[in-house]
């Protein structure tokens, strides 16, 4: 029997405690000979609709204990696995949080929101169609976050109803595919699917075949950025044109 070495890199991930899709997505895309380690974090009310105040509260919550816990795995990189928790505060907050995670963990640090921007810039994209399972006010903040980073949202497709913390993760890949098509516009260079708990990774390649343009998702972007940061080689199982840049 051939065994992986498990020595190439250790990947730490901070994940909201109701999120059920970030972990399987990371395992789908995990580079060989790496290990992935998760720490669940709170800071929000599971029974509330995840609106702007709720997500901003998560972003501002104390994660010092979470960092102590994930540091036990001696990670090479720590991912902050909630997009809306930092984009609701803006780019400066997002960058500052990444620095705090780096200082608190001793590892390289990437946020989901920051990774989306970095991936789009790597693709040389300046105009996008955008969709997510967020409520409308958070989508507006997401468009503003991208705009402050030089990326124009030319069309937006909201899910059309208020989804709770579990409802976001229950959207099927087929529903995500439909949302992506609704977000497309002729002037859009790419499609952005934001949310670490949305099953976008499984729909990426189907969307790209249909639309003929790249798709960038929160979880895919984090994997791309961590592979760049750790100089990890490309492998099978990485969805989308984004990984052609590795």
The tens digit of pLDDT for each residue in 173-232 reads 999 999 999 999 999 999 999 999 999 999 999 999 999 999 999 999 999 999 999 999
User: 225 and 212 in one domain?
Assistant: no
For 118-134, write each residue's pLDDT tens digit: 999 999 999 999 999 99
Residue 91: closest CA among 139, 14, 147: 147
Task: List Cβ neighbours of 8 (8 Å cut-off, separation of 6 or more).
Answer: 31, 32, 33, 34, 232
Domain co-membership, 86 together with 121: no
Q: Are residues 89 and 16 in the same domain?
A: yes
Based on the fold, state whether residues 107 and 30 are members of the same structural domain.
yes
Distances (CA, A) of 67 to 3, 70, 218, 244, 245: 30, 5, 21, 32, 31
- Asked if the structure places residue 66 within a domain, the reply is yes
pLDDT in tens, 85-115: 999 999 999 999 999 999 999 999 999 999 9
Q: What are phi and psi of 122, to 5 degrees?
A: -65, -35
Does residue 201 share a domain with residue 79? Answer: no
229 and 213 co-located in one domain: no
CB 185 within 8 A of CB 129: yes
Calculate the average pLDDT of the chain: 95
Residue 185 confidence (pLDDT): 98
6 Cβ neighbours under 8 A, 6+ residues apart: 33, 34, 35
Same domain, residue pair 178 and 223 = no
The answer on 107 and 156 residing in a single domain is no
pLDDT computed for residue 1 by the predictor: 85
* Higher pLDDT pick, 152 / 46: 152
User: Which domain CATH number covers 120?
Assistant: 3.40.50.12500
Q: Are residues 135 and 62 both part of a single domain?
A: no
Domain with 135, as residue range(s), is: 116-217
Q: Are residues 88 and 132 in the same domain?
A: no
Number of domains the chain is built from: 2
The answer, as to whether pTM is greater than 0.95, is: yes
């Amino acid at each position: 029997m051939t065994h992986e070495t498990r020595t190439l890199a250790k990947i730490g991930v901070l994940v909201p405690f109701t999120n059920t899709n970030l972990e399987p997505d990371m395992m789908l895309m995990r580079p060989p000979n790496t290990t992935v380690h998760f720490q669940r974090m709170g800071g929000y009310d599971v029974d509330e609709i995840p609106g702007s105040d709720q997500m901003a509260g998560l972003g501002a919550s104390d994660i010092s204990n979470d960092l102590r816990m994930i540091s036990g795995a001696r990670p090479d990189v720590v991912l902050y696995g909630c997009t809306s928790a930092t984009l609701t505060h803006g780019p400066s907050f997002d960058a500052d949080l990444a620095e705090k995670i780096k200082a608190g963990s001793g590892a390289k640090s990437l946020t989901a929101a920051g990774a989306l921007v970095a991936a789009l810039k790597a693709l040389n994209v300046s105009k996008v169609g955008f969709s997510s399972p967020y409520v409308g006010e958070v989508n507006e903040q997401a468009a503003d976050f991208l705009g402050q980073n030089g990326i124009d949202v030319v069309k937006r497709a909201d899910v059309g109803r208020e989804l709770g913390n579990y409802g976001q993760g229950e959207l099927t890949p087929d529903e995500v595919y439909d949302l992506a098509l609704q977000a497309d516009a002729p002037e859009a260079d790419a499609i952005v699917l934001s949310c670490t708990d949305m099953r976008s990774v499984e729909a990426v390649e189907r969307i790209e075949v249909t639309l003929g343009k790249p798709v960038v998702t929160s979880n895919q972007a984090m994997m791309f950025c961590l592979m760049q940061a750790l100089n990890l080689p490309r492998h099978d199982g990485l969805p989308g044109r984004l990984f052609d840049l590795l």
